[in-house]
A and B are shown apart, each in its own frame.
Chain A
Amino acid sequence: MTTELYSEEDILKGCRQGRRHFQEILYRRHAKKMYGICMSYAGDRAFAQDMLQEAFVKVFKSLDDFKGKGSLEGWVRKIVIRTAIDLLRQRAGKENFFDDAAIDHLSDNQNIVYNNALPELGLKELMGFISRLPEGARLVFNLFAMEGYSHKEIARELNITEGTSKSQFNRARNILKSWLGEQYR
């Protein structure tokens, strides 16, 4: 049972009426989490902030489309992911968005596999590694690891083959492990 200042129904009603007070409450309630998600996709803060702003504008403009099936947070998150994908594709703007070679050259020590217990990192430290991944690999990695998309779904979403999706994910995971191994062994 929620103990927030306003119930979700009150907030939705107020937002649909265009009342700024409720729009800000909705934004403040979800902004921190969505900002972290945007940073994991964007790789840098400035791009993450643009992503977050554009996503929430879409949220407020399309609130009438939310029919109450599922949670409001889940619905907002989907809009954020969709916005992240669109912006990354716009920014990449190149055919080799999912180029394996772009990952392979990142580390000379990919044979160092980090097998220790996963370190406790903050997002800031993790961003240091994530931001070094190519955008295509970062996108696939996040969709698989964070959102739980299958490779088939990722392929359909990004208009790539399932094999490309698997390849991009595995390369991204291995390079992350090698970086962690170098940093925390």
Chain B
Amino acid sequence: MKEKEWYKNIVENNSENPPDHIWEGIQDELDIDGVWDRIESDFDAEQKKKWFFFARVAASVLLVIAGGGLLLFFSHLLQIPEQVADRTHDDNTVTQEVIVDADPNSAEDMMQTGADVTIPADVSDHAIQESLQDREVPVFREEYADRRELYPKDNGISIETEIIAYQNDISSLPAHMEAIKEAFIRPDYEQHTIAANRFSGAHETHPESLAFVPITEEHDVETGNVPFAWFGLTGQLANTWMLNDKTFEAFRRDEFTATEPSFGSNLGMRAGVNIDARLSLQTEFMWHSRSNQHYREYIHGNYVQNSLTLDYYMLSMLLKYSPVKSSPEHWLLAGGYGGLMKGAVQNIDGHTREMTADYHRTDYGLLLGYEYRFGLGRHFSFNPGVFIKTGLNNIFSGNEHTPYYLNRTRNASFNLSFSIEYHIF
């Protein structure tokens, strides 16, 4: 009878939701039995769930800090013994000293700059001072101490110079070294040039005595030793999480559903500018940023793999800070991100379903990380790093069966990143 079908169709396709007070009434009636026990057990479960989440976050943060600390520690161990160490006086004049035994009476030792340098024994104070005035000399840059690289003005001479001073006791210099002593201690000593022929045999590639200028970060920027800006490509491997009740509950052993590790990859580009030698601003655009969550579920008598995949465009802004002045390779990063969802898909044992309508199009959150900068020549660098990303908003918008508040979900991930940058001076 078609009237039956007609009638049944109308009733069963009802589009009207029952009012909220019905569910409240149901809860009240259920709560009459064992209300206190339920409150206690729910509270304990909620506390355990929160503790477990924060414990994992804390463990990841400790891992990042430990990794950064190990890198710092080993970078100090790898320093070459003859490497020039810095000592910055209050007046910002940087003196350089070599941690080797030096004979204070040996002019050669005092002025040792290279194997092929012959230092006249009868050089006078005046001569030295004159030399210092005539010759443009490189200035040692503390940031490149490990490479002993100097940045001379374009005098056509490529040189590498080590500065030698009697360790801790410049006043014990021989008399004819007074001018050099002056150079060490005068804070306002300008950069000078020395006539190339002051030292026999020392024309082309000899390390020279140095003039000292106040070494400040601004000076470094002015002389082009800190890149003005950079850009590059970045890729990330991420351990991703969709944090919600289902994910947390699936860690319980007595649940049918189990949460499984999930990974995604991100690809994009980055660009940044230096505010000063230790502080930078960086922006990253990821044209591919994926958030995954895998479950193993028991459905209709079978265990199946249930995967949720959300793809985003992601834009982030980060402040970068180098905490160790003597080790500019280490960088801490902090900032925020915004994401625009490209699509959401659920896959259960090969059967896929579009889920875009169940999730909000936008996401935003915080980023915290660490990077190490491996220099590759003057212009390039390779930057591996670790990041923690956590969303701040609920990305689940709800559907006809599950309102948004029953499945509040946040994105989170722990990322390994690898970037190649080109630096512009």
List of A residues within 8 angstroms of B304 by Cβ = 1
**Known: A49-B19, A52-B18. Contact between A5 and B402, CB under 8 A?**
yes
The verdict on B23 contacting chain A, using a C-beta distance below 8 Å, is yes
Which of the candidate stretches B7-15, B58-66, B320-328, B333-341 sits at the interface with the other chain? B7-15
Pair B17/A35 contact, Cβ less than 8 Å: yes
Which residues of chain B come closer than 8 Å to A10, judged between CB atoms?
Answer: 255-257, 297-298
Q: Does B34 contact A (CB under 8 A)?
A: yes
Contact count band on B: 35 or more
A19–B252 Cα distance when bound, in Å, is 14
Residues of B within 8 A of A20 (CB): 27, 38, 42
Query: How many residues of chain A have a CB within 8 Å of chain B?
Result: 47
Cβ proximity bits A30-71 to B, threshold 8 Å, 1 near / 0 not: 011101110110000000010011001100110000000000
| CB 8 Å contact bits of B5-41 with A (1 = contact, 0 = none) | 0111011111111110111011101100010001000
- The CA-CA distance from A20 to B405 in the complex, in Å, is 13
Total A-B Cβ pairs within 8 A: 138
Question: How far is B355's CA from A56's CA once the two chains are assembled, in angstroms?
Answer: 29
B299–A2 contact, CB under 8 A? yes
A20 to B11, CA, bound (A): 28
Per-residue interface assignment for chain B, residues 176 to 210, with 1 indicating a CB less than 8 Å from any chain A CB and 0 otherwise: 00000000000000000000000000000000000
Is the beta-carbon distance between B23 and A36 smaller than 8 angstroms? no
In the complex, the answer to whether A18 meets B38 with C-beta atoms within 8 Å is yes
Proximity bits, B261-292, A CB within 8 Å = 1, else 0? 00000000000000000000000000000000
The answer to whether A31 and B246 have CB atoms under 8 Å apart is no
Chain B binding surface SS class = mixed
Query: With A25-B406, A36-B14, A49-B19 given, is the CB distance from A18 to B34 under 8 Å?
Result: yes
Which of A89-97, A102-110, A117-125, A158-166 has 4 or more CB atoms under 8 Å from chain B? A117-125
Whether B245 sits at the interface, judged by CB under 8 Å, is yes
B22 touches A52 (CB 8 A): yes
Q: How far is the CB of B404 from chain A (nearest CB, A)?
A: 11
Residues of A close to B349: CB separation below 8 A: 1
User: Does A28 lie within 8 Å of B401, measured CB to CB?
Assistant: yes
Structural contact, B257 and A7, CB atoms closer than 8 A? yes
Beyond A35-B14, A126-B10, A146-B7, is A49–B22 a contact (Cβ under 8 Å)? yes
Task: Write the chain A residue with the least CB distance to B7.
Answer: A145
Counting CB contacts under 8 A, is A21 at the interface? yes
Q: How far is the CB of B244 from chain A (nearest CB, A)?
A: 9
Contact A123:B14 (CB < 8 A) given known A9-B299, A53-B25: yes
- A145-B297 contact given A9-B256, A10-B256, CB 8 Å threshold: no
Is residue A152 within 8 Å, beta carbon to beta carbon, of the partner chain?
A: no
| A182 within 8 A of partner (CB) | no
Q: Which A residues are in CB contact (< 8 Å) with B256? A: 7, 9-10, 13
Query: How near does chain A come to B347, taking the closest CB pair, in angstroms?
Result: 9
Q: Is A27 among interface residues, defined by CB-CB distance under 8 A? A: yes
**Would A57 and B299 count as touching, CB distance under 8 A?**
no
Is the Cβ of B351 less than 8 Å from the Cβ of A37?
A: no
- Is A183 an interface position by the 8 A CB rule? no
CA distance A52 to B16 in the complex (A): 13
Q: Which residues of B contact A39 (CB under 8 A)?
A: 11, 14
Q: A10-B297, A21-B245, A28-B406 are in contact. Are A36 and B401 (CB under 8 A)?
A: no
Instruction: Give the distance in Å from the alpha carbon of A52 to the alpha carbon of B23 in the complex.
Output: 10
Query: Inside 8 A of B246's CB, which chain A residues have their CB?
Result: 5-6
List chain A residues, Cβ under 8 A from B56: none
Bound together, the chains give a CA A13 to CA B401 distance in angstroms of: 18
Q: Using CB atoms, name the residue of chain A closest to B299.
A: A7
Which chain B residue has the least Cβ–Cβ distance from A40? B11
CB < 8 Å: which of B3, B15, B23, B300 contacts A7? B300
B241 → chain A, closest Cβ, in Å?
17
Question: Quick one: closest B residue to A173, CB to CB?
Answer: B3
Measured CA separation A57–B22 after assembly (Å): 10
CA of A97 to CA of B170, assembled, Å: 116
A86 close to B (CB within 8 Å): no
A1 touches B3 (CB 8 A): no
Taking CB atoms, residues of chain A closer than 8 Å to B257 are 6-7, 10
- Given known A-B contacts A27-B23, A126-B10, A32 and B18 have beta carbons under 8 A apart: yes
A35 to B18, CA, bound (A): 6
Contact with A along B368-412 (1 / 0, CB 8 A): 000000000000000000000000000000001111001100000
* Interface contacts beyond A27-B23, A37-B12: sample of 20 additional A-B pairs, CB < 8 Å, sorted by A: A1-B349, A3-B346, A3-B351, A5-B246, A7-B297, A10-B256, A13-B256, A18-B38, A21-B406, A28-B402, A29-B402, A35-B16, A49-B21, A52-B18, A53-B22, A53-B26, A118-B2, A123-B10, A145-B8, A146-B4
Residue ranges of B at the interface with A (Cβ–Cβ < 8 Å): 2-4, 6-8, 10-19, 21-23, 25-27, 29-30, 34, 38, 42, 245-246, 255-257, 297-300, 304, 346, 348-349, 351, 353, 355, 400-403, 406-407
- The 4 lowest CB-CB distance pairs between A and B, nearest first, are A36-B14, A7-B299, A35-B18, A118-B6
9 A–B pairs (Cβ distance < 8 Å), ordered by A: A6-B257, A9-B300, A27-B23, A28-B406, A29-B401, A33-B14, A37-B11, A61-B30, A123-B16
